[in-house]
Amino acid sequence: AAIVRQNQRRFHKPLLTTRYQAVTLTNGHVFYGRIDHLGTDHPVLRDAFELRTEPDPKSGRATHAVVWRKSGPTGADHLILPAASIGFVEPVRSDSPIGQAIEQATRDGEPR
């Protein structure tokens, strides 16, 4: 008797240890948000946003501005992504520069 283990790894649910994740697509574009259904054919990125990096005119240091997708032309608060288009997913720590930008944007209330 043969034991078939086809697609065994396909149904492993990855452990997400942070509130937000960075999702890098195969084309190099990066979205941020809370990813659901990771490990399926169509993961969903909720509270989706992008970052705009701009130099601070006074200090010259880079600042990160959160640009929420729901503030865009479509008003979408989530993205449904084909799994094949996802290059990799990274955790966004709350004490990282990006994590702090997210915290500031959510604390300010109205997203940009």
pLDDT digits (tens, 9 = 90+) for 39-93: 899 999 999 999 988 888 888 888 888 899 888 889 888 999 999 999 999 999 9
CATH number of 17-107: 2.30.30.100
pTM (2 d.p.): 0.78
- Residues β-bridged to residue 20: 92
Average pLDDT, the chain: 86
Residue ranges of the domains in the chain? 17-107
Calculated CA dihedral for residues 112, 32, 48, 55, nearest 10 degrees: 20
State which amino acid sits at residue 85: S
Token match 């946003």: residue? 49
